[in-house]
A and B are shown apart, each in its own frame.
Chain A
Amino acid sequence: MIAAERYTEAYMINWESNVFPGILGRTCDRPCEPACRRGRVEEEPVAICRLKRVAADNKGEVKSLMPDAPAEKNGKKVALIGGGPASLTVARDLAPLGYEIHLYDEWHKGGGMMRTQIPAFRLPEEVLDEEVNYILDMGIHTHFNTYVDSLKEIIDKGYDAIFIGTGAPRGRDLNLPGREEADANVHIGIEFLANVAFEHVDKIGEKVIVLGGGNTAMDCCRTSRRIGGKEVNVVVRSAFETMKASPWEIEDAQREDIPILNNMPPKEFVVENGKLKGVKFGKVKAEYDETGRRKLVPTGEPDVFIEADDVIIAIGQDNYCPWIERDLGIEFGDWDLPILDKETFQSTLPSVFFGGDSAFGPENVITAVAHGHQAAISMHHYCEGKDVKERLAPMTNLVSQKMGIHEWTYDSFIADDLRYKVPHEDKAISLKERKVEVELGFSESTGFKEAQRCLNCDVQTVFTTDSCIECDACMDICPTSCITFTNNGEEEDLRTRLSAPAENLTQDLYVSEVLPTKRVMVKDEDVCLHCGLCAEKCPTTAWDMQKFLYNVTKAH
């Protein structure tokens, strides 16, 4: 659809399930891209994330296409604690069903960590506001600037169900010598980002050290570069390869002249005359024991001292909910995480549900959205007195794409293009002004070309044994040698007898019924391009290209 310039429809398909196409099109952790099958035939997957942004940037009016909250309510009241992606997703799913929804958040606007932890140069405020407001405008009762300090009080208000999506709000600290004395110049990563976002902080020292190798560390160092940091170093205690940050975020930091120093655990905050001077680091290397567990052992090299005016600690965050009284019936397990049903997100107190980082610990926005959808189904069932565990299967559908001998209703042509790079704003400009967005997004024409790289995984090759005359045409034409006609056997044995090596065991083989010559058709889907040549070359339409539609089950 993006290739067909049907941006509005593309946006809506995306909005249905991920709720924040514009936000995620800029900031997603992209768990989908490693799964993209383009990566199996060449170096890089399709830039799925950035294409979502293309749809979001170029869409037309969408508000009228979104569901409205009915004027007549269903008489049920639910409370959502926390205004982040998980809670907003629950609101998006339940509001159209007539629920009266009350959303509580400590800040003055919704968005949660998307607002406090994602810097404006990655996610402009207008984009965030727009997509958050699509949901809040569904008649959500917002209680902003309200820090909920007692769940009991909320329960006492008589809600039919309560959803908790308060994230993992506590950044980890680092207890090293000198920490207390240096306190004025040592900051916790997510607090620092929130303070910058709300403009409580607008400058930092010229020399900054960021401790940690995750995405928060990358956001901290890049933010520092924009508010006065000239010599910003990221120091990570382990190796570069094991850093948790997304590769593209590391790249973006390096592009802004931020060195990343690895295998250096901090030892001490060096303080002179009551003021932070810098940090002393040891040098280590990774060793693995028999169980494969990693141990960082000192290399014996001398310690390294790095000067710093400010240090930002971004080494992870934890769940923290002191506001949930422990006598309400909600049980907690390790790490202060609630004990939940993994599918329904229901806590041990049946009316209370969790989602997002507060459910199973820190993850990412798209996971929080997924939790929200599932929790919304559970809450709806719970409020209707139905079994929470009983869930409808997702909707699936297969439709033939055949129009003519060589014509399909999908674009079967396979482009050779390599992945396109997203253009960036001039570094001199973006480093000067914190709110200038660095990534400019694909233009429409680049978006088209990138979309052409898609291998159409939604279009399936469907084989009908009865029609096959075993002429071998499909096997002969297949560019990636996916198809074999051979005698049947056990999968392990079959895999050794195919036209091409079939080594991806996570990809099932497609095996037909027995054909007249007693052979079977075996297709290894692993590197199928969905080019449709097998079906075009089939004289009896035993092969057909059929579009597969999958709609995840949602409350609405």
Chain B
Amino acid sequence: MTYLKPTFRHPKMPKNKIGFAKADYEGAVSTLCAGCGHDSISAAIVQSCYEMSIEPHRLAKVSGIGCSSKAPTYFLSNSHGFNSVHGRMPSVMTGANLANRDLIYLGVSGDGDTASIGIGQFVHAIRRNLNMVYIVMNNGCYGLTKGQDSATADYGSKSKSGTENVFQGIDLTAMAMEQGATFVARSFSGDKTQLVPLIKAAMSHPGFAFIDIVSPCVTFNNHVGSTKSYSFTRDHIEATSAIDFVPKRDEITVDYQEGDGVRVKLHDGSTIELEKLSSDWDPTDRQSSIKQLHAVKASGQLLTGLLYIDPESQEFHELQQTTERPLNELREEDLCPGSDALEKINQSFR
């Protein structure tokens, strides 16, 4: 019986810029069902953090409840982690983020955790443009409780027991876009070439970066008639663009054909390069993105890739003009500058 992963790794595996191997970003062996899309997303997160040369202790992963929210155990064992209450990941995340703005925040949630019990928390985190990556591992069903339709199950999608869903599914990307999210993307667990650069770009984005990832439930939602199965997703995927993320220190080596390429410069100097597949769409124009999203949906397809980005995004701390230092670094003399300082403040109100 192997719930333990052998410690041997490929002896010629390269190291990243800060001397870590990919294995240093791994977690425990997953106890999710074999073939679960969530495990693929975990692997994409490992790959992204490795490629971004993130020091594991500089990242905090926070999750709610559900199959998806178990997933953070299975990656980044050396990072901070908090498995919180059902649907309450955004609150815990907000608190952590307020206390220490220096960490990279990775929120992991599922379709139940976000679109049902946590939908209120979700929209408010967007509204505040909290600086975090918000990943939804979206499989359209409640896997942990035997596969009932979730709120994101598409209208007409068949459950494993054969009944069609009579309710309208919630499109989380459309909702995030409407609510003013500054980074909205959708991807598929089975497409790491697209997913990895999206996660990297999301981690560099200052503000709320939302990635809705279709992640098939092999046990309860991978049959004929399901709209979130491996084969259905593959057959109906329509990507906005081929995407590449270029961190700020790297030289840009990707060569795009004139006219097709769009470069979006981020605050920290890194670049997102998009090879557009549709001419009437501008990823920095919210209206054109919403239009594109709906148009593709109407044609029965699933639009994936980077849907919208606001390059001028100002995250929560900037909006609130909070202190630049994490709270745990503030000493008594910073917090109580003394009677003279108080006197000065009082004087300013006279």
Q: Among residues 17 to 32 in chain B, which have CB atoms less than 8 Å away from a CB atom of chain A?
A: 22, 29-30
* Cβ distance B153 to chain A, nearest Cβ, rounded Å: 20
Question: B residues within 8 A CB of A540?
Answer: 35
Judge whether A41 and B216 touch: CB under 8 Å: no
Q: Which of A40, A475, A539 contacts B34 (CB 8 A)?
A: A539
- Contacts A472-B43, A473-B36, A538-B35; A416 near B13 (Cβ below 8 A): no
- Contacts A470-B230, A473-B36; A531 near B2 (Cβ below 8 A): yes
* Cβ distance A478 to chain B, nearest Cβ, rounded Å: 9
Q: Which of B1, B2, B35 contacts A473 (CB 8 A)?
A: B35
Judge whether A41 and B8 touch: CB under 8 Å: yes
Question: B residues within 8 A CB of A479?
Answer: 5-9
In the assembled complex, the Cα of A471 lies from the Cα of B222 at a distance in Å of 11
In the assembled complex, the Cα of A406 lies from the Cα of B30 at a distance in Å of 13
Judge whether B2 and A471 touch: CB under 8 Å: no
Q: Which of A42, A473, A500, A501 contacts B8 (CB 8 A)?
A: A42
Question: B residues within 8 A CB of A363?
Answer: none
- Contacts A405-B34, A539-B33; A501 near B39 (Cβ below 8 A): no
Judge whether B39 and A480 touch: CB under 8 Å: no
Q: What are the interface flags for A485-519 relative to B under an 8 Å C-beta threshold, 1 for contact and 0 otherwise?
A: 00000000000000011010000000000001100
Q: Which stretch, A58-66, A313-321, A407-415, A438-446, touches the partner chain B?
A: A407-415
Judge whether A503 and B12 touch: CB under 8 Å: yes
Does residue A466 face the partner (Cβ distance < 8 Å to B)?
Answer: no
- Contacts A406-B1, A481-B13; A471 near B6 (Cβ below 8 A): no
In the assembled complex, the Cα of A479 lies from the Cα of B29 at a distance in Å of 10
In the assembled complex, the Cα of A40 lies from the Cα of B29 at a distance in Å of 24
Question: B residues within 8 A CB of A517?
Answer: 234
Does residue B197 face the partner (Cβ distance < 8 Å to A)?
Answer: no
* Cβ distance A544 to chain B, nearest Cβ, rounded Å: 13
- Contacts A536-B34, A537-B39; A413 near B2 (Cβ below 8 A): yes
Question: B residues within 8 A CB of A472?
Answer: 39-40, 43, 189-190, 192
Q: Which of B2, B11, B22, B231 contacts A533 (CB 8 A)?
A: B2
Judge whether B234 and A471 touch: CB under 8 Å: no
In the assembled complex, the Cα of A527 lies from the Cα of B12 at a distance in Å of 10
Does residue B37 face the partner (Cβ distance < 8 Å to A)?
Answer: yes
**Dominant SS among interface residues on chain A:** loop
Q: Which of B22, B35, B42, B231 contacts A539 (CB 8 A)?
A: B35
In the assembled complex, the Cα of A416 lies from the Cα of B9 at a distance in Å of 12
Does residue B350 face the partner (Cβ distance < 8 Å to A)?
Answer: no
* Cβ distance B14 to chain A, nearest Cβ, rounded Å: 8
Question: A residues within 8 A CB of B30?
Answer: 477, 537
Q: Among residues 208 to 227 in chain B, which have CB atoms less than 8 Å away from a CB atom of chain A?
A: 216, 218, 222
Does residue B3 face the partner (Cβ distance < 8 Å to A)?
Answer: yes
Judge whether B37 and A501 touch: CB under 8 Å: no
In the assembled complex, the Cα of A387 lies from the Cα of B141 at a distance in Å of 68
- Contacts A481-B10, A481-B13, A501-B10; A471 near B218 (Cβ below 8 A): yes
Q: Among residues 14 to 47 in chain A, which have CB atoms less than 8 Å away from a CB atom of chain B?
A: 40-42
Residue of B nearest to A475 (CB): B43
Total inter-chain residue pairs, C-beta < 8 Å: 104
Residue of B nearest to A532 (CB): B2
Residue of A nearest to B2 (CB): A412
Does residue A303 face the partner (Cβ distance < 8 Å to B)?
Answer: no
Does residue A476 face the partner (Cβ distance < 8 Å to B)?
Answer: yes
Does residue B4 face the partner (Cβ distance < 8 Å to A)?
Answer: yes
* Cβ distance B175 to chain A, nearest Cβ, rounded Å: 28
Q: What are the interface flags for B244-263 relative to A under an 8 Å C-beta threshold, 1 for contact and 0 otherwise?
A: 00000000000000000000
Question: A residues within 8 A CB of B29?
Answer: 477, 533
Q: What are the interface flags for B39-68 relative to A under an 8 Å C-beta threshold, 1 for contact and 0 otherwise?
A: 110110000000000000000000000000
Q: Among residues 87 to 130 in chain A, which have CB atoms less than 8 Å away from a CB atom of chain B?
A: none
Question: B residues within 8 A CB of A532?
Answer: 2
* Cβ distance A451 to chain B, nearest Cβ, rounded Å: 16
Does residue A161 face the partner (Cβ distance < 8 Å to B)?
Answer: no
Q: Among residues 146 to 170 in chain B, which have CB atoms less than 8 Å away from a CB atom of chain A?
A: none
Residue of B nearest to A479 (CB): B6
In the assembled complex, the Cα of A477 lies from the Cα of B34 at a distance in Å of 10
* Cβ distance A517 to chain B, nearest Cβ, rounded Å: 6
Interface centre among B1, B6, B231, B234 (most CB of A within 10 A): B6
Q: Which of A416, A469, A480 contacts B35 (CB 8 A)?
A: A469
* Cβ distance B190 to chain A, nearest Cβ, rounded Å: 6
- Contacts A470-B230, A477-B29; A500 near B39 (Cβ below 8 A): no
Q: Which of B3, B5, B189, B216 contacts A406 (CB 8 A)?
A: B3
Question: A residues within 8 A CB of B190?
Answer: 470-472
Question: A residues within 8 A CB of B8?
Answer: 41-42, 414, 416, 479-480, 527, 529
Judge whether A501 and B12 touch: CB under 8 Å: yes
In the assembled complex, the Cα of A537 lies from the Cα of B39 at a distance in Å of 10
- Contacts A480-B9, A536-B2; A469 near B40 (Cβ below 8 A): no
In the assembled complex, the Cα of A512 lies from the Cα of B255 at a distance in Å of 32
Q: Which of B11, B34, B222 contacts A41 (CB 8 A)?
A: B11
* Cβ distance B221 to chain A, nearest Cβ, rounded Å: 12
* Cβ distance B218 to chain A, nearest Cβ, rounded Å: 4
Question: B residues within 8 A CB of A413?
Answer: 2, 4
In the assembled complex, the Cα of A414 lies from the Cα of B37 at a distance in Å of 27
* Cβ distance A30 to chain B, nearest Cβ, rounded Å: 22
Residue of A nearest to B6 (CB): A414
Q: Which of B4, B10, B234 contacts A500 (CB 8 A)?
A: B10
Q: What are the interface flags for A389-416 relative to B under an 8 Å C-beta threshold, 1 for contact and 0 otherwise?
A: 0000000000000000111000011101
Question: A residues within 8 A CB of B13?
Answer: 481, 500-501
Judge whether A516 and B35 touch: CB under 8 Å: no
Q: Which of B7, B11, B33, B36 contacts A416 (CB 8 A)?
A: B7
Question: A residues within 8 A CB of B37?
Answer: 471
In the assembled complex, the Cα of A407 lies from the Cα of B35 at a distance in Å of 17
In the assembled complex, the Cα of A413 lies from the Cα of B8 at a distance in Å of 12
Judge whether B11 and A40 touch: CB under 8 Å: yes
Question: A residues within 8 A CB of B1?
Answer: 406-407
- Contacts A477-B29, A503-B12; A537 near B43 (Cβ below 8 A): no
In the assembled complex, the Cα of A539 lies from the Cα of B234 at a distance in Å of 18
In the assembled complex, the Cα of A114 lies from the Cα of B220 at a distance in Å of 66
In the assembled complex, the Cα of A405 lies from the Cα of B35 at a distance in Å of 13
Question: A residues within 8 A CB of B189?
Answer: 471-472
Residue of A nearest to B1 (CB): A406
* Cβ distance A545 to chain B, nearest Cβ, rounded Å: 11
Question: A residues within 8 A CB of B216?
Answer: 471
Judge whether A477 and B5 touch: CB under 8 Å: yes
* Cβ distance A94 to chain B, nearest Cβ, rounded Å: 45
A contacts, CB < 8 Å to B: 40-42, 405-407, 412-414, 416, 469-473, 475-477, 479-482, 500-501, 503, 516-517, 527, 529, 531-533, 536-540
3 closest A-B pairs by beta carbon, nearest first, are A539-B35, A476-B43, A414-B6
Q: Can you list 29 A-B contacts (CB < 8 A)?
A: A42-B8, A406-B2, A412-B2, A413-B2, A414-B7, A414-B8, A470-B190, A470-B234, A471-B40, A471-B190, A472-B40, A473-B35, A476-B43, A477-B30, A479-B6, A480-B9, A481-B9, A481-B10, A481-B22, A500-B12, A501-B13, A501-B14, A503-B12, A517-B234, A533-B29, A536-B2, A536-B34, A539-B34, A539-B35
B contacts, CB < 8 Å to A: 1-14, 22, 29-30, 33-37, 39-40, 42-43, 189-190, 192, 216, 218, 222, 230-231, 234
- A477-B29, A539-B33 known; 10 new pairs, CB 8 Å cut-off, are A407-B1, A472-B43, A472-B190, A479-B6, A481-B9, A516-B234, A529-B6, A529-B8, A531-B5, A532-B2
